[in-house]
């Protein structure tokens, strides 16, 4: 396998993640220009974090389908599993939307100010269909990637961005719609349209699978076998998505809590754009490493190239006046809020490079069915973030968003180190 082959496979998936990464800055820019921008930005960021925590079990349906959907029988078994997971996460969103449950989470657990929590509720309601739509989308995206139709995945994501933009524009034109509702409703509309488009575009792959004689297929994975592979990945996502609510808990106890809650989603969305090029690499590794990991050297070379380019690009913006253009001109932050975003952005400069290597190391573990290692690495990341946040809040006068950026950096460096260690052992046949 040549580097060009890896790049051709990766590029459409990277485009998909890049488009998804654009929706964050677009929506935060819209919310930042609405009334009560500080409160609505904070409410939008926390509402999205809570929904992502509930949605977390469906995240790794994609990797599971890419790894296990070898034929018609396996695809049918995985489709049934996807439906069950979607029902669970939808029930979770409905439970979170019950007013007294919402109040417990918002005011007792996270301890949000009323000005933020009161705006957040309808954002959560708008996100109720979001997790199941993502689950459906990720199942069919997995089939497309498994069958080397990565360009169709990118087309579906373009539909998502257009649908989100149209929804946001329509809601902005309506009188009295809060910024948090605009952001959350637009996200839901975009993802639903993407799920429908992906389902439509996967018809060719589904027809090919359906044409197979199921009696000649390998025995399909049982629910127990799927769970053995999937549960560590699902737990990984759930653990990972506790980060933002946990950060909100600590930032509420640091200087400038409301401002920090408003700024963090904007900084995170901006840096996420550059990290997104690496996120897509996990599925690349799973699909292309080869049965005996013989393609690892060339996959590694492309990963290093991606990491260097994205890190340099973020550095050029973060250390020049271009950052003012991004935060004030594009994202719509006031100069006061933008000034709080500068140091956190600089602290996160190395995250794009870490993201691509982390994805590659995780792909080695997943391809070797060592998914528990992925779970442990995420637990290490979250534990490291919690420890650093606790130290910062108790011993420094740093703003909440600077403490959060520091904690995220430390947590991700340590977790990537863990994954790197075990990936090397697997590649050398020692684990």
Tens-digit pLDDT profile for residues 234-248? 787 788 778 888 898
The token pair that represents 281 in the structure block? 């690499």
Least confident of 64-78, 135-149, 232-246, 377-391: 232-246
Q: Which H or E run includes 54?
A: helix 37-59
- For a pLDDT cut of 90, what percent of the chain falls above it? 46
Measured between alpha carbons, how far is 92 from 288 in angstroms, rounded to an integer? 35
> From CA 299, how far away is CA 289, in angstroms rounded?
7
Please state, in angstroms and rounded to a whole number, the distance separating the CA atoms of residues 28 and 40: 9
350 pLDDT band (50/70/90 cuts)?
A: very high
d(CA 383, CA 404): 13
Taken as a whole, the chain contains a residue count of 431
- Alpha-helical (H) ranges within 69-213 are 72-96, 99-103, 114-126, 130-146, 150-173, 179-201, 203-210
Q: Model's pTM, two decimal places?
A: 0.75
| Residue 381 pLDDT exceeds 80 | yes
Tens-place pLDDT, residues 7-18 = 888 888 888 778
Specify whether the CB–CB gap between 171 and 126 falls below 8 A.
no
Residue 287 has pLDDT above 70, yes or no: yes
Q: Which of 143, 126, 131 is nearest to 59 (CA)?
A: 131
Rounded to 5°, the CA angle 82-87-89 comes to 95
pLDDT tens column, 394-430: 999 999 999 999 999 999 999 999 999 999 999 888 7
What is residue 407's predicted lDDT score, i.e. its pLDDT?
96
* 354 Cβ contact list (under 8 Å, min separation 6): 278, 307, 412, 413, 416
Is residue 422 classed exposed, middle or buried when 0-12, 13-18 and 19+ CB atoms within 10 A define those classes? buried
At 431 the pLDDT is 61
Residue 337: partners with Cβ closer than 8 Å, 6 or more residues away:
38, 259, 262, 263, 266, 327
**74 has a pLDDT exceeding 80:** yes
- Tell me the HSE value of 318 on the side-chain side, using a 13 A CA sphere: 22
pLDDT at residue 53 in the model: 85
pLDDT digit string, tens, across residues 334-347: 899 999 999 999 99
pLDDT computed for residue 84 by the predictor = 93
Tokens of 314: 């973020």
**Whether pLDDT at 19 is above 90:** no
DSSP state letters, 160-183: HHHHHHHHHHHHHHSTT--HHHHH
Query: Over the chain, what is the mean pLDDT?
Result: 89
Angle between helices 400-427 and 371-395 (to 10 degrees): 150
Q: Are 372 and 232 in contact (CB under 8 A)?
A: yes
Domain range summary for the chain, segments of one domain joined by + = 34-228, 242-431
**Predicted confidence (pLDDT) at residue 193 exceeds the cutoff of 80:** yes
Whole-number Å distance between alpha carbons of 357 and 385: 19
Contact of 402 with 347, CB cutoff 8 Å: yes
The full DSSP string for 259-289 is HHHHHHHHHHHHHHHHHHHHHTHHHHHHHHS
Q: What is the mean pLDDT of residues 107-114?
A: 85
**Could you report the per-residue pLDDT of 166-180, keeping only the tens digit for each?**
999 899 888 778 888
- CA 33 from chain centre, in angstroms, equals 25
Scan for tokens 């790794």, then name that residue: 60
> What is the reported pLDDT for 172?
87
Backbone region of residue 340 per phi and psi (left: phi > 0; alpha: psi in -120 to 50; beta: other values): alpha
Residue 348 pLDDT class (50, 70, 90 cuts): very high
Q: Which residues contact 51 (CB under 8 A, 6 or more apart)?
A: 93, 124, 127, 130, 131, 184
C-alpha to C-alpha distances, 254 to 209, 296, 394, 410, nearest whole angstrom? 55, 44, 9, 19
pLDDT (mean) for 167-196: 90
| Cα distance between residue 164 and residue 188, in whole Å | 8
CB 33, CB 271: distance < 8 Å? no
Q: Are 194 and 137 in contact (CB under 8 A)?
A: yes
Whether the predicted pLDDT of 325 surpasses 80: yes
Least reliable range by pLDDT among 13-17, 49-53, 208-212, 372-376:
13-17
Q: How far is Cα 346 from Cα 74, in angstroms, rounded to an integer?
A: 46
What whole-number distance in Å separates Cα of residue 388 and Cα of residue 393? Answer: 9
- Give the contacts of 4 (CB within 8 A, at least 6 positions apart): none
């Amino acid at each position: 396998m040549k580097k060009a082959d890896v790049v051709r496979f990766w590029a459409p998936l990277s485009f998909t993640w890049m488009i998804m990464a654009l929706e964050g800055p677009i929506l935060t820019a819209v919310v930042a220009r609405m009334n009560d921008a500080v409160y609505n930005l904070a409410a939008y960021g926390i509402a999205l974090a809570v929904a992502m925590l509930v949605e977390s079990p469906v995240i790794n349906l994609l990797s599971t389908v890419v790894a296990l959907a070898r034929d018609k029988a396996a695809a049918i078994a995985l489709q049934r599993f996807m439906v069950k997971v979607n029902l669970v996460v939808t029930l979770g969103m409905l439970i979170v939307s019950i007013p007294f449950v919402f109040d417990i989470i918002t005011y007792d657990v996270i301890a949000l100010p009323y000005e933020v929590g009161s705006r957040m509720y309808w954002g959560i309601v708008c996100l109720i269909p979001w997790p199941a739509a993502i689950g459906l989308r990720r199942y069919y995206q997995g089939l497309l990637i498994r069958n080397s139709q990565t360009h169709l995945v990118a087309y579906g994501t373009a539909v998502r961005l257009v649908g989100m933009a149209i929804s946001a524009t329509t809601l902005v034109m309506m009188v009295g719609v809060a910024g948090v509702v605009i952001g959350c409703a637009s996200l839901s509309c975009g993802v639903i349209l993407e799920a429908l488009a992906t389902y439509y575009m996967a018809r060719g792959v589904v027809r090919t699978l359906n044409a197979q004689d199921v009696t000649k297929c390998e025995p399909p994975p049982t629910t127990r076998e799927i769970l053995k592979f999937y549960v560590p990945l699902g737990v990984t996502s759930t653990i990972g998505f506790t980060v933002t609510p946990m950060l909100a808990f600590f930032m509420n106890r640091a200087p400038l809590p409301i401002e920090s809650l408003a700024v963090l989603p904007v900084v995170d969305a901006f840096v996420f754009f550059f990290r997104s090029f690496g996120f897509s690499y996990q599925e690349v590794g799973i699909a292309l490493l080869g049965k005996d990991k013989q393609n690892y050297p060339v996959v590694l070379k492309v990963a290093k190239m991606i990491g260097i380019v994205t890190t340099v690009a973020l550095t050029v913006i973060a250390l020049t006046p271009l950052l003012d253009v991004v935060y004030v001109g594009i994202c719509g932050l006031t100069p006061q809020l933008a000034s709080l975003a500068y140091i956190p952005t600089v602290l996160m400069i190395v995250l794009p490079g870490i993201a691509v290597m982390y994805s590659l190391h995780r792909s080695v573990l997943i391809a070797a069915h060592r998914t528990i290692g992925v779970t442990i690495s995420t637990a290490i990341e979250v534990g490291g973030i919690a420890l650093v946040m606790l130290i910062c809040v108790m011993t420094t006068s740093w703003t909440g968003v600077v403490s959060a950026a520091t904690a995220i950096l430390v947590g991700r460096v340590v977790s990537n180190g863990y994954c790197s260690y075990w990936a090397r052992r697997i590649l050398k046949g020692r684990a």
